[in-house]
A and B are shown apart, each in its own frame.
Chain A
Amino acid sequence: MGTIRIPSARGSFRVWQRNITIFRKYWKSILFPNFVEPLLYLVALGLGLGAFIQQGGINGQPYVQFVAPGLLASNAMFAASFESTFNTFVKLKIDKIYDAIITTPVNAEDVVGGEYLWAGTRAALYGTAFLATIVVLGIMFGQPLVTSWWALLLPPMLLVIGVMFSVMGTLFTSLIERIDLYAYYFTLVVTPLFLLSGVFFPVDDFPAPVPQVAWFTPLYHAVNVCRELATGPSPAVLADIAWILVFTSVLALIPVQIMRTRLIG
């Protein structure tokens, strides 16, 4: 009441630890779809559509090489968005897991902090598995999809991207009472971001105001960062990273406060 609550590192870690304990029991059975989906896009669009794109690809890059890192970013968005929407909602309203946690020295604000970290971790885990796959596929088919050692920074970057989308998803979760309202979030936020943030075509080449609008959206920057790290970054990548960090930190404390008032009457 009145004071702004900030998650504690200890409490957030405990919540993260709970989630990873459960994940470790079930990861084999849930990894598959999360992993195959970006692969399907890569095959259908990267190879299928890519075959029709003129020699020279996009800005001199083969199309499949252009698409792959973008899918890495969008995959992180999907992983973190599912975690912070449906999974969080079930823990909040159906299984009442958070009600149990907040009777212990772990506070409501720590619950949200822990969920951010966990969604980021999950995005990084799936993303790294997908990254390893595209590296291997690239080598197998003689068409390298990742060409820079900077790509080693992709897993931590995917964690940051995951946290960003977790903050957005948690904000929506903190405002709704019914699980079916997520249809709005996915149709009006996640899907448009997926299609229009430069994963499949470079938005920067469009006339104004398309690039200007894209600049205000989170996935656009995530795609830029992933693409640059995969192929060797230019200094411009720092601006995208800064955008992600500023956006995430400005937004992060809002769901914390709302969720706290939901959990504590």
Chain B
Amino acid sequence: MNTETERTTGTLSGEHTLVALGLKKSYAGFEAVKGVDFRVSGGECFGFLGPNGAGKTTTMKMIYGAVIPTGGELTVAGLDVYHHEREIKRRIGVVPQENNLDDELKVEENLLIYGRYYDLPRKLVLRRAEELLDFMQLSEKAEATVEQLSGGMKRRLLIARALLNDPEIVVLDEPTTGLDPQARLLVWDRLRELTAEGKTLILTTHYMEEAARLCDRLVIMEGGLIIAEGTPGALVEEHVSPQVLEFRTDHRSLEELVPIIEAASDAVERTGDESILAYTEDADALLERVRGSGAKIENTVYRQAGLEDVFLRLTGRRLVE
């Protein structure tokens, strides 16, 4: 979208626009966020990864004022969340995890009504609505009611809505969940444009590829705590060896294979009864040793280690709910 230079409170790149110190949230008998620290600079895309229930959404909600922290400090756009609720909300945009559009209204009407909540003049809202619908490739649907939109279109409309007040910071809670690959690519492209414009993005996601592509830095949360932080590249470097070999074979042969692979690689992960992942600096050498052992292997897949490996290493492979 065309940036309008009427923004009064531009964020200077490098300045911390979001700072959390010892941030906590507990509900009766349950600690959702157990004291987290993070700093986000203006213009950065900052990601939160973590399994369901890790405290990501609670952290997002504390940023946009839908949850009041029970401890610690949090400043958003330089303002304390405990005392500047309205002012913060005026300066941020929010894409919630759940669709909460006005279903009975047309696409454009949703934006018009939303613009009033920010006291924006109608003419300005009309112009921005047109730009934003174009930006999110929804112009043709301006006159459709929300009920008539597909799930992907609704999420794109939520993003357009979040940009209506030209926010400094955009908080996106799982912006691409449920989108088809084409729509996801469109959203990624648009989010990158927003950071290029200097907006700060805070996002949660379950898609490692998304985090790796979009985020300048990210944290991994688990059980209400931040367990790792860094750039996607640094996290991979720090937590896993660069090369991954996946061996597949029947259950009995795998049992024979495990000690051989364990001895020759940096780390192994059992991914099921019939497959194993080996992390190593030198995949060729490992493969040669395994083949030399004479054990039966049905299939081998080689790839570079990525964020997904870091994520699974740190948060475990088991489904925890």
Using a CB–CB distance below 8 Å, which chain A residues touch chain B? 1, 10, 14, 17-18, 21-22, 25-26, 95-97, 99-107, 263-265
Q: CA of A141 to CA of B86 in the docked complex: distance in angstroms?
A: 57
29 contacts between A and B (CB under 8 A): A14-B116, A18-B102, A21-B113, A22-B104, A26-B104, A95-B100, A95-B103, A99-B96, A100-B96, A100-B100, A100-B114, A101-B117, A103-B65, A103-B89, A103-B96, A104-B89, A104-B118, A105-B89, A105-B90, A105-B119, A107-B86, A263-B66, A264-B66, A264-B67, A264-B68, A265-B27, A265-B61, A265-B66, A265-B67
B89 surroundings in chain A (CB, below 8 A): 103-105
A100 surroundings in chain B (CB, below 8 A): 96, 100-102, 114
B71 → chain A closest CB, angstroms: 12
Closest 4 CB pairs of A and B: A104-B117, A96-B100, A100-B100, A103-B94
Q: CA of A97 to CA of B105 in the docked complex: distance in angstroms?
A: 12
**A105 in contact with B27 (CB, 8 Å):** no
**Beta-carbon nearest neighbor of B164 in chain A:** A104
**B116 in contact with A102 (CB, 8 Å):** no
Q: CA of A95 to CA of B98 in the docked complex: distance in angstroms?
A: 10
**B98 in contact with A99 (CB, 8 Å):** yes
Q: CA of A107 to CA of B101 in the docked complex: distance in angstroms?
A: 17
A17 surroundings in chain B (CB, below 8 A): 113, 116
The CB with the most chain A CB atoms within 10 A, among B68, B85, B90, B116, is that of: B116
**A265 in contact with B101 (CB, 8 Å):** no
Q: CA of A178 to CA of B86 in the docked complex: distance in angstroms?
A: 31
B103 surroundings in chain A (CB, below 8 A): 95
Task: Determine the main DSSP class of A at the interface with B.
Answer: helix
**A265 in contact with B68 (CB, 8 Å):** yes
- Tell yes or no: B64 within 8 A of A by CB: yes
A25 surroundings in chain B (CB, below 8 A): 104-105
- Tell yes or no: B216 within 8 A of A by CB: no
Residues 114-132 of B at the A interface (beta carbon under 8 Å): 114, 116-119
Q: CA of A1 to CA of B114 in the docked complex: distance in angstroms?
A: 27
- Tell yes or no: B229 within 8 A of A by CB: no
**B113 in contact with A18 (CB, 8 Å):** yes
Q: CA of A83 to CA of B195 in the docked complex: distance in angstroms?
A: 43
Which of A22, A96, A102 makes the CB contact (< 8 A) with B65? A102
Q: CA of A138 to CA of B123 in the docked complex: distance in angstroms?
A: 47
**A105 in contact with B86 (CB, 8 Å):** yes
A109 → chain B closest CB, angstroms: 11
Q: CA of A164 to CA of B118 in the docked complex: distance in angstroms?
A: 29
Q: CA of A264 to CA of B68 in the docked complex: distance in angstroms?
A: 7
**A96 in contact with B90 (CB, 8 Å):** no
- Tell yes or no: B80 within 8 A of A by CB: no
**Beta-carbon nearest neighbor of B105 in chain A:** A22
Q: CA of A17 to CA of B117 in the docked complex: distance in angstroms?
A: 10
Q: CA of A103 to CA of B88 in the docked complex: distance in angstroms?
A: 10
**Beta-carbon nearest neighbor of A106 in chain B:** B117
**B100 in contact with A99 (CB, 8 Å):** yes
Q: CA of A234 to CA of B88 in the docked complex: distance in angstroms?
A: 52
**Beta-carbon nearest neighbor of B96 in chain A:** A99
**B102 in contact with A105 (CB, 8 Å):** no
Which of B101, B102, B117 makes the CB contact (< 8 A) with A22? B102
Q: CA of A1 to CA of B86 in the docked complex: distance in angstroms?
A: 16
**A264 in contact with B96 (CB, 8 Å):** no
**A10 in contact with B119 given A100-B101, A103-B89, A104-B114 (CB within 8 Å):** yes
Which of A21, A95, A101, A107 makes the CB contact (< 8 A) with B85? A107
